[in-house]
């Protein structure tokens, strides 16, 4: 049970929507913490560019005929290719595969935010999350995420609510003392 009491007018509206792959991808993106974003920005790209530069340095004598192609030249370029493939092919594929296994995409969701809990219904499935179990929330350009843990969130697409609903969700989050992430 939450320590905070609410006026009925302060509760957000009932949310009805169909979960899409884009919603799930946005949640996965929002779930990545600052450290992983920092590592991606300041470690992945510099390492990739350094690898590509070394590959060009190794290949320059091969292309000019000064030496023959060696396995290290191919391995270096293959590593750069695998880095890109992992980031832009494997990770998005894993997200789609995971969502497909969960059988959540395409389901119609109904979410009711109450004073003490959040009720979710998706097709024949239903669950209830006690409000005090929500640890943090995130607002992006297109979604609100109410985080149950580092990887699971109640997803509220802004396309399913109007501006008054958005304001109600901001108030709901602000009065809940959740960490904003």
Using one digit for the tens of pLDDT, what is the confidence trace for 58-106?
888 888 888 888 888 888 888 888 988 988 888 878 877 876 777 777 8
| Domain assignment of residue 2, yes or no | no
Give the strands of the sheet with 117-122, arranged side by side: 15-18, 108-113, 117-122, 125-130
Question: Considering 80, 102, 124, which residue would you say is the last residue of a domain?
Answer: 102
The predicted pLDDT at position 6 comes to 42
End residue of a domain, out of 45, 72, 102: 102
Please give the backbone phi and psi of residue 149, each rounded to the nearest 5 degrees, phi first: -150, -170
pLDDT score recorded for residue 142: 93
Within-domain flag for 24: no
Tell me whether residue 14 is in a domain: yes
- Which of 102, 125, 145 is the last residue before a domain boundary? 102
The domain that holds 168 is classified in CATH as 2.30.29
Whether residues 112 and 66 fall in one domain:
no
Give, in degrees to the nearest 5, the angle at Cα 60 between 58 and 64: 135
Report the pLDDT value the prediction gives residue 33, as an integer from 0 to 100.
63
Q: 46 with 87, same domain?
A: yes
| Positive/negative CA dihedral, 68, 71, 76, 81 | positive
pLDDT of residue 35: 58
Residues 132 and 171 in one domain: yes
Q: What is the pTM of this model?
A: 0.68
Closest to 176 (Cα-Cα) out of 150, 120, 137, 148: 137
pLDDT at 162 over 80: yes
**Quick one: 117 and 150 in the same domain?**
yes
Residues 46 and 111 occupy one common structural domain: no
Are residue 114 and residue 91 in the same domain, yes or no? Answer: no
For 121-153, what is each residue's pLDDT tens digit? 987 888 999 988 898 888 889 999 998 887 788
Which residues span the domain enclosing 88? 30-102
Residue 160, pLDDT score: 92
Give the tens place of pLDDT for each residue, 4-42: 444 444 678 889 998 888 888 888 777 776 557 777 778
Residue 25 lies in a domain: no
* Shared-domain flag, residues 112 and 175: yes
36 plus 86 within the same structural domain: yes
**Do 97 and 75 belong to one domain?**
yes
pLDDT score at 112: 92
Domain count, the chain: 2
Residues 147, 112: one domain? yes
Assess if residue 3 is contained within a domain: no
Residue-averaged pLDDT of the chain: 83
């Amino acid at each position: 049970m939450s320590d905070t009491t609410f006026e009925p007018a302060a509760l957000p509206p009932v949310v009805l929507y169909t979960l899409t792959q884009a919603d799930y991808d946005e949640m996965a993106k929002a779930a990545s913490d600052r450290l992983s974003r920092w590592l991606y920005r300041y470690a992945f790209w510099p390492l990739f560019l350094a690898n590509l530069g070394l590959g060009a340095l190794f290949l320059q004598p091969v292309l000019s005929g000064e030496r023959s192609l060696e396995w290290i030249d191919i391995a270096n370029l293959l590593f750069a290719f695998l880095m890109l493939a992992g980031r832009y092919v494997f990770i998005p594929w894993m997200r789609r595969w995971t969502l497909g296994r969960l059988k959540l995409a395409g389901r119609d969701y109904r979410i009711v935010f109450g004073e003490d809990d959040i009720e979710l219904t998706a097709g024949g499935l239903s669950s209830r999350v006690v409000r005090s179990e929500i640890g943090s929330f995130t607002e992006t350009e297109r979604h609100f995420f109410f985080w149950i843990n580092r990887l699971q969130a109640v997803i509220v697409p802004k396309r399913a609510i109007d501006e008054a609903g958005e304001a109600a969700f901001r108030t709901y989050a602000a009065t809940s003392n959740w960490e904003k992430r």
